[in-house]
Amino acid sequence: MEPVREWKSRATLVDLLDRVFDKGVVINADIIISVAGVPLIGVSLRAALAGMETMLKYGMLQDMDAKTRMKEAQYRKNKEVPLLEGEEIALKMFGSYYYSDGIYRAWKSGYFYLTNFRLLLYQQDIAEIVFQIPLKKITAIKIRREKSFTGKDKDIIYLALGKKKVARLNVLQTQEFIKKLRDLQGEVGAVLDGEKIKELSIL
């Protein structure tokens, strides 16, 4: 079977629209004006361009029972963050974590979840927890104002994790995040030592 590629025809134009509005490399929102697909174009205009409605869930029939919906979950690309028993989410916030593993270094973006047990960073499209640390293991928090490569100032959060490790984070609303983290740490009885971070060498 040969693939259809006269994509200027109506049918394949729809396939193209699906790709250019929702997909492609994701860039840090700091430096771009617009993110393709988000309200600029307008959902209704996009639907009009597509010429047909997009059904929003797997399953063609409206009344899907709960069992089928659960089975559907394994095939859906959007997967929920896996929580432990008794774990509750206190805060969800978009941000990035600086991952460094010898040669490979990168900022990984996703959603931070602050729970009653831990802090984790979850990347939904690959359904993976990219970073996590139990609240008790965070021994110090420090914020540093740093210049990002765009020339603008960014708040970078440094978390001391035990004796030698330091995690570097950036979130959308730094103050709200820190406050929540401190509140939760108070609840679990963790002790924060602002001085410790000076002693640590930052990776």
CB closer to another protein, 64 vs 93 = 64
Q: How far is the CB of 68 from another protein (least distance, A)?
A: 6
CA-based nearest residue to 129, from 164, 80, 74, 87? 80
Q: How far is the CB of 80 from another protein (least distance, A)?
A: 16
CB closer to another protein, 142 vs 154 = 154
User: Position 154: which residue type?
Assistant: K
Q: How far is the CB of 175 from another protein (least distance, A)?
A: 24
Separation between Cα atoms, residue 15 and residue 102, nearest integer Å: 41
Asked if 196 contacts 139 with a C-beta cutoff of 8 angstroms, the reply is: yes
Q: How far is the CB of 48 from another protein (least distance, A)?
A: 6
Q: Who contacts 119 (Cβ-Cβ below 8 Å, separation ≥6)?
A: 112, 113, 132, 133, 135, 138, 159, 181
Which residues are near another protein by CB under 8 A? 1-5, 7-8, 11-25, 27-28, 31-37, 40-41, 45, 48-49, 52-61, 63-64, 68, 71, 75-77, 104-107, 149-151
Separation between Cα atoms, residue 193 and residue 203, nearest integer Å: 19
CB closer to another protein, 57 vs 165 = 57
CB closer to another protein, 49 vs 89 = 49
**Ramachandran angles phi, psi of 171, nearest 5°:** -130, 165
